Structure 1
Amino acid sequence: MSKTKPAPLPPDTLIGGYRIVRLLAAGGFGLVYLALDAQGREVAIKEYLPAALATRAPGELLPQVAPEKQALYRLGLRSFFEEGRALAQIAHPAVVGVLNFFRENDTVYMVMDYLQGASLQDFIVTARGRQRKKILREATIRSLFDEVLRGLRIVHQHKMLHLDIKPANIFITDDNRAVLIDFGAAREVLNTEGTFVRPMYTPGFAAPEMYRRTGGAGLGPWTDIYAIGACIYSCMQGYPPHDAPQRQEKDRLVTALARLRGLYSNELIDVVEWCMALDPLSRPQSVFALQRELAREAAAEPEPTPSGWWERLRARLGLAQAQAPDAASHQSQRSSFLEPP
């Protein structure tokens, strides 16, 4: 792994007709910038730049990749480009919009809608700090994941998997849309093909099959559905579940869910247990199957879904008109969130 993280592009850099404004976030797989298009509209640009494979000095445009890492770097680059191409074909309010994607500076850039709001993780962390028995109301959870599943179903219909669904990658916009962001298919290619790239899955949300380095074999819609179950669990518990290897040694999920009975309906708790089955064949095999079960339960659910539920939740949690968190605040909340009790 590179000892020095690649430096971001400086403000005012021009790439592909877009002007970089500032860095929004940095991760192990790439960098995300706020930028302006030719008409002055704000967009988000994601740059493929895996820190384990490439370096870049401050002020430089081109990444530096060691000869022995070139093949894997190119493999990830192609996968990232194809991911952008596939996402650009999806037009759904619950899936981040890809406006453009292009090659430049020996890498690939994905131009996306710039979203303003806060991640589901931000809501959970803030709600958890209020120290109430319920983290999020059941009606809120059901409404949220109804939206998310509608988007995920379209993704799967396009023969794609997200592979990194977690509260940090479910964004609640200021106009009250739940949007899936930061797809992880290209990361998974590097994870399964590489010999020196550390695993890029998120503990607690990654299904057991993602821990097997089998070149993607065994992954399917059920893999994303495991992560959906883990996200619902986090909305109820305030923390992520234990990771899959821990559960395979000693599974405490049923015990943890039992403590939530009485706070949330048995039906919703049973759905989480179903989604998070360690055996992929024991989970819902499609988003449609999960939607059908949640819809059946919702019909019998006495608690109504309020109109403007995200505005009310924002007001209660002090997140009104929150901006997307910067990289530093996002990282601090991420590390505290990813520690189950």
Structure 2
Amino acid sequence: MGAVYLATDQRLGGRRCAMKAIRPWADADETVTMAIRAQFAQEAAMLARLDYPALPKVSDYFSTGDHDYLVMDFVPGQDLAEVIKEARRKGRFIPESQVLNWAEVLCDALTYLHLQEPPVLHRDMKPANIKLTPDGQIKLVDFGLAQSVTLDPNDPRTITGLRGVGSMPYLSLELYGAELAGSDPRADIYALGATLYHLLTARQPLSAQERFLKPAAFELPRALNPDISPTVERAVLRAMALRPEERPASAAEFKRELLTGLAPRPPHTESGLAESLHANWLLLTLALLLLVTAVAVTVR
């Protein structure tokens, strides 16, 4: 989707900022490129309106040459993927209490995004996109895949620019090949649940695709880190449910379940999940497409 550079804003006295360079599709014709750039301008203007402590402020955007640029606050510090690696090098896990403190901030940030009108989806929540600043604050830094959505695909406010597939271990199953209007805030809930799984276990979760095809391969968090409390494990697993309707309905609900231990038990065991999911025609179609792709690769 693009590269992020550390830059200085000469118009603001050399203030340090982060500048994301986004290149439209290389093979797009002029008409498509113009449409993508118009959508980029809509997306950037929407991001510039956001104002929340755990989100970097977007200060400018522009297009020049064959790239679009998004300018935002520079956030110093380590990303949480680096924090995980550092903990593993020391042979320890990040304490559950610390992860829950971060989760509370991230849930509140998602709640802020999802309550915008229309709602804003981040769609790329993962440890590498979360910064821990030198003074201990958590910030969700990469808006590259953020989306402003409405549930009605015919609503003119729906923005479909800057789409992407996110990062596979954190991508909910319904987003594999999904159109924007077919997704909702529960996709971000899945990504946050997968992020917490990684933070608590120091292990990337299996992708939703792998879990769908091989349910028995999925390892429960407490099997990897026995210090995780059963109630937190249950909340994380509910957030990572493959079926959107089985996840918390909102980030605020997920936060309550994490902090109070009142998450309901998952309706399906992981080992028996595939049988239930095959009743869903959308997921069955995905399985068939994956099978056809595998056969095509084998024939080649």
Letter of the structure 2 residue corresponding to residue 151 of structure 1: A
Which of 167, 184, 192 is 1:220 aligned to?
Answer: 184
**Displacement of 1:252 after TM fit?**
3.9
CA distance in 1 between counterparts of 2:250 and 2:36 reads: 27
Equivalence for 2:44 = 84
Equivalence for 1:339 = none
Which of 12, 17, 23 is 1:43 aligned to?
Answer: 17
Which of 90, 108, 111 is 1:150 aligned to?
Answer: 108
- Contact 2:19/2:71 (8 A) holds in 1: yes
Deviations 1:127-154 (A, max 9, x none): 112223xx21011000011111111111
Shift in alpha-carbon separation, 1:180–1:79, aligned structure 2, 3 A = farther
CA distance in 1 between counterparts of 2:204 and 2:39 reads: 29
Which of 105, 110, 121 is 2:81 aligned to?
Answer: 121
TM-score, structure 1 length as denominator?
Answer: 0.66
Structure 1 residues 5-44: aligned runs within 5 Å: 29-37=1-9, 38=11, 39-44=13-18
Please tell me whether residue 108 in structure 1 is matched to residue 72 in structure 2: no
Structure 1 residues 1-341: aligned runs within 5 Å: 29-37=1-9, 38=11, 39-50=13-24, 53-54=25-26, 66=27, 68-105=28-65, 107-132=67-92, 135-158=93-116, 159-183=119-143, 184-185=145-146, 189=160, 200-211=165-176, 213-252=177-216, 255-260=219-224, 262-297=226-261
CA distance in 2 between counterparts of 1:181 and 1:191 reads: 16
Provide the identity percentage: 31
**Displacement of 1:280 after TM fit?**
0.4
CA distance in 1 between counterparts of 2:83 and 2:217 reads: 23
SS state of the match for residue 263, structure 1?
coil
**Displacement of 1:86 after TM fit?**
1.4
Letter of the structure 2 residue corresponding to residue 270 of structure 1: R
Equivalence for 2:278 = none
Count of aligned positions: 246
**Displacement of 1:83 after TM fit?**
2.2
- Contact 1:48/1:77 (8 A) holds in 2: no
Consecutive unaligned residues in structure 2, runs of 5 or more? 148-158, 263-300
CA distance in 2 between counterparts of 1:253 and 1:230 reads: 16
**Displacement of 1:221 after TM fit?**
0.9
TM-score, structure 2 length as denominator?
Answer: 0.75
Which ranges of 4 or more aligned residues in structure 1 deviate by more than 6 Å? Answer: none
- Contact 1:32/1:47 (8 A) holds in 2: yes
CA distance in 2 between counterparts of 1:143 and 1:47 reads: 32
Letter of the structure 2 residue corresponding to residue 295 of structure 1: L
Q: Which moved more, 1:268-277 or 1:31-40?
A: 31-40
**Displacement of 1:253 after TM fit?**
7.0
- Contact 1:77/1:107 (8 A) holds in 2: no
Letter of the structure 2 residue corresponding to residue 43 of structure 1: C
Equivalence for 1:330 = none
Letter of the structure 1 residue corresponding to residue 109 of structure 2: G
Q: For CA contacts below 8 A with separation 6 or more, give which structure has more relative contact order.
A: 1
CA distance in 2 between counterparts of 1:90 and 1:44 reads: 16
**Displacement of 1:112 after TM fit?**
0.4
- Contact 2:78/2:133 (8 A) holds in 1: yes
**Displacement of 1:124 after TM fit?**
0.5
Shift in alpha-carbon separation, 1:31–1:255, aligned structure 2, 3 A = closer
- Contact 1:261/1:269 (8 A) holds in 2: no
Deviations 1:59-105 (A, max 9, x none): xxxxxxx4x44444344333332222112111111112111223333
CA distance in 2 between counterparts of 1:274 and 1:146 reads: 16
Letter of the structure 2 residue corresponding to residue 44 of structure 1: A
Deviations 1:284-331 (A, max 9, x none): 111111122223239xxxxxxxxxxxxxxxxxxxxxxxxxxxxxxxxx
